[in-house]
Amino acid sequence: MQQRKLGPSGVEVSLVGLGTNNFGGRIDLEASRRVVDKALDLGITLIDTADAYGDKGGSEEALGKILGPRRKDIVLATKFGLAMDDAGTLKGASRRYIADAVEASLRRLKTDYIDLYQLHRPDAQTPIEETLRALDDLVKAGKVRYIGCSNLSAPQLAEALAVSRAHGLASFVTCQDEYNLLSRGFEQDRLPIMRQHGLGLLPYFPLASGLLSGKYRSGAPLPAGSRLAGSGRHADRILSARNWRVVDALTALAARRGRTLLELAMSFLASRDFIPSIIAGATKPEQVEQNIAAAATTLSPEELAEIDRMTL
């Protein structure tokens, strides 16, 4: 498996990572264990989770039970900020909340440090300097090695990086944002800022919640039990008329080139030098194998140009 630097951190991670938002929810502990075991056996070294995944803590708890002595072999990433109670009060990015949230994550993950601790989404109620100072303290205490962010706008990202620089605080090394063949708006606003500062992108929804996996067909019923079959408004956003048109065009391109839609989706992301690792979720070990194989495909300049014409 190809290894890439995690932004400016110097840490190397596998080109394909494992996203675990299905753990503790869509799949049980033993199914999660099979996915993790396959991922580690195939050379995946980045595992990404969040405190809110798995019905508020379930994903982290599953990883804590599964990893054991293999914890030292991976770069473990988690996030904080989303609501961790039904009332929606345990959330945010204040100093006080971060202090509690990191201890809870460490406890669930059964580890004494987090490799990459990420702000899950911006907190309008807390100044970014307060958030960054709290995270800087965690880095100095050895509880967190590096910090990242997710879902920040371009102005919010620029402000955060400026605050870190002005005050000598730990700075974000990665952003985690939606990025795939159907969603490329990131390239216009946040990417120039990230390139300026050498940050890496960890793309989520690399397969557009499965629409780019090849298992969905326009005009056909959604596969029973699939993610999009029960996602409500999220499915409505993904399954737009525009996206179906693009998927049909990409599917035809893949067929002409003797490839699969999955190979186009994963290898397109692998061709982006600003992506250290593609966060790909899986509910079965076979999906891990398929994702890794698809990312190993190399697209020609002509194929990339065709993809641009279809997706931009």
Spatial distance between the Cα atoms of 3 and 15, rounded to a whole number of angstroms: 6
The Cα 180–Cα 212 span in angstroms is 9
The count of other CB atoms within 10 Å of the CB of residue 165 is: 11
Angle between helix 29-41 and helix 53-67 axes, rounded to 10 deg:
60
User: Within a 10 A sphere around the Cβ of 86, how many other Cβ atoms?
Assistant: 8
User: How is residue 282 written in tokens?
Assistant: 């899986």
Q: What CA–CA distances, in Å, run from 188 to 6, 29, 157, 298?
A: 22, 40, 14, 24
**Amino acid type, 127:** P
Angle, helices 301-311 vs 241-257, to 10°: value is 160
Contact 102, 112 (CB under 8 A): no
**Is 204 designated active site?**
no
CA dist., res. 40 & res. 150, Å (int): 25
Query: Distance of CA 123 to CAs 9, 129, 153, 179, Å?
Result: 25, 12, 12, 22
Sign of CA dihedral 25, 29, 31, 36: positive
Q: Do residues 52 and 46 touch, judged by C-beta distance below 8 A?
A: no
Q: Mind telling me the catalytic residues? A: 53
